[in-house]
Every structure is written in structure tokens, then in C-alpha cells.
Amino acid sequence: MLQNSYSSQRKCVCGLVVKTLISSTTSNSRRRFFRSPRLDFSSCGYWKWEDQAFPEVAYLRKLESS
């Protein structure tokens, strides 16, 4: 996963500004998501996609990669 930036609008359950990251997985390539900036045991576990998944787009990406 590549770190992109910090979101100025969203906060996690801990009240911290969330990180905006870009997925590098095959099934969600280049898809942005938010997560808590904490990675240790004190993390609240906040995680959410920035956009809604479109099944047909995921299917087309899978076809392109094969």
C-alpha cells in the first residue's frame, strides 16, 4: 500500500485525522481508502473505502490483468 496523504475532513474513532492510502492489491488496484493513522495495538481499527465498489469495474480490471 502506498501512503498518499492525510485527509483534512475525516477522523477516526480516536479523533485523529485519518490517512488516505492507495491499494496495491490486484483486486483493488489503485483504489483509495482511509485508515486510522495508528498501526499499533492502540489503533481503533478505522478503515473504509473512499468510493463505492462497482462490480463491473472490478470485473473489467480482472479481465485486463489476465
Q: Could you give the CA distance from residue 66 to residue 58 in angstroms, rounded to a whole number?
A: 13
29-45 pLDDT, tens digit each: 888 899 998 888 888 88
Q: How confident is the model at residue 1 (pLDDT cuts 50, 70, 90)?
A: very low
The 3-state DSSP class for residue 63 equals: helix
Model confidence, pTM = 0.60
Q: What are the domain boundaries of the chain? A: 2-65
For the chain, the residue count is 66
